[in-house]
Structure 1
Amino acid sequence: MRTILLLFLSNLFMTTAWYWHLKYRETDLWKVILISWLIALVEYCLAVPANRIGSYQFNAFQLKTIQEVVSLAVFVGFAAFYLKEPIRWNYLVGFVLIVLAVFFIFKKW
């Protein structure tokens, strides 16, 4: 559970670093890059321990799968609430297919 919580927090910072500036297009690009790098530093301070801790329970493929699903969940919330982007049905279908991939990654065959 610590791994997933750390990955969630890490993705919250990384999504913010990558997309916050879309509402501030008048800001100089160099400023946006600098601010984004500072935000991303926090992300790394969370992601590295998340993966280290998670490696005792999950393999690398599973860790990456968890990270991607968490990343999509965080992004959907960020895009909908911060950027005010609509959530369309085809996006949800695509995300469901990705979650279906989780089944195949974690299934013991």
Structure 2
Amino acid sequence: MKHILFLVIGLIFSNVFMTFAWYAHLKNLNDKPWLIAAMVSWGIAFFEYLIQVPANRIGHTVLSLGQLKIIQEVITLSVFLPFSLFYMKEKISINYLWAGFCLLGAVYFIFKK
């Protein structure tokens, strides 16, 4: 159970970095050349990898690769939704709810014995 907890906490933190690396430049560096945005994003993503790689290595000691990927996707959407709402000021639609239900189905099936 300790491995799963480390995995989930690690993936939450790494996804915060990843989400900012992938999307924050659309708001903060929109007036800069794409190369500047890419360099800043790579700099942020470096810290994402420092957290994500050990989290996945530890998680893989108790979970299959498919289970790791589904957990990653659930955490990604869980981090992305508040980011898009509060940081990027995007409007939420019902499609986010349907996507969440699909991910719950994926969790069910990947962990089903």
TM-score range, shorter chain: over 0.9
Match of 2:39 in 1: 34
Aligned mate of 2:49, from 44, 50, 70: 44
Give the aligned residue type for 1:21.
H
Q: Deviations over 1:37-62 (max 9, x none)?
A: 00000011111001111011111110
Secondary structure at the residue paired with 1:53?
A: helix
Give the aligned residue type for 1:44.
Y
2:40 matches 1:7: no
Match of 2:20 in 1: 16
Match of 1:106 in 2: 111
Q: Deviations over 1:12-70 (max 9, x none)?
A: 10110000011131122111111100000001111100111101111111011101110
Consecutive unaligned residues in structure 1, runs of 5 or more = none
Q: What is the TM-score when the length of structure 1 is the normalising length? A: 0.94
Give the aligned residue type for 2:88.
L
Q: How many residues align?
A: 108
How far off its partner does 1:90 sit? Answer: 2.0
Consecutive unaligned residues in structure 2, runs of 5 or more = none
Distance 1:90 1:30 in 2: 32
Q: Which runs of 4+ in 1 moved over 2 A?
A: none
Secondary structure at the residue paired with 1:27?
A: coil
Aligned mate of 2:71, from 44, 66, 73: 66
Distance 1:37 1:94 in 2: 28
How far off its partner does 1:75 sit? Answer: 0.7
The within-5 A match list for 1:74-93 is 74-93=79-98
Match of 2:58 in 1: 53
Percent of residue pairs identical? 47
